[in-house]
């Protein structure tokens, strides 16, 4: 009986330490995921700004916004999105209104099905 009591006294602090380490690990994971979500939200807002700037033929602003969006996707470490973001950054920043290069096809919205290349846009309903 004494041995069992001594064993319980030694085991309790070890179990409490293990629970504390698990809680610390979960808190750390939560913080990392929260930071990733914030970076993805930032990238989405900047991608919307990029689209609006391209529609207004303001490629300087579009290039700056896409650069920041690309940085945000890299910080969020979403590997399958990073490559596409890099490609878009390169395409937008090389398009110049001084030359006769047409805008890349992915920048031109398909109006037939209300496709938006990036961001979310709502049209006001007609009454």
Which residues are within 8 A (CB) of 53 and not within 5 positions of it... i.e. 6 or more apart?
Answer: 59, 61, 62, 65
CA distances to 38, 69, 76, 85 from 32, in Å? 10, 19, 9, 21
Dist. CA 104–CA 36, nearest whole Å: 29
Instruction: Using the predicted structure, report yes or no on whether residue 113 has a pLDDT greater than 80.
Output: no
Identify the helix (H) or strand (E) that includes residue 4: helix 2-55
Which H or E run includes 76? helix 59-76
The pLDDT, as a whole number, for residue 45 is 92
The per-residue pLDDT for 125 is 55
Query: Virtual CA dihedral for 71, 77, 81, 84, nearest 10 degrees?
Result: 40
Rounded to whole angstroms, the Cα distance separating 15 from 17 reads 5
Residue position matching structure tokens 């993805």: 40
Q: Which residues contact 28 (CB under 8 A, 6 or more apart)?
A: none
Higher pLDDT, residue 111 or 5: 5
pLDDT given for residue 38 in this prediction: 92
pLDDT (mean) for 90-95: 82
Please count the residues of the chain.
Answer: 127
| Out of 50-59, 74-83, 105-114, least confident range | 105-114
């Amino acid at each position: 009986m004494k041995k069992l009591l001594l064993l319980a006294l030694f085991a309790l602090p070890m179990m409490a330490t293990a629970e504390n380490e698990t809680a610390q690990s979960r808190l750390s994971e939560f913080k990392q995921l929260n930071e990733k979500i914030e970076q993805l939200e930032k990238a989405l807002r900047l991608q919307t700004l990029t689209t609006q700037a391209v529609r207004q033929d303001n490629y300087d602003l579009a290039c700056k916004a896409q650069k920041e969006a690309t940085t945000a996707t890299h910080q969020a470490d979403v590997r399958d999105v990073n490559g596409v973001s890099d490609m878009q950054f390169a395409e937008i920043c090389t398009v110049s209104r001084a030359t006769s290069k047409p805008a890349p096809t992915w920048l031109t919205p398909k109006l037939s099905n209300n496709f938006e290349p990036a961001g979310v846009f709502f049209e006001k309903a007609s009454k």
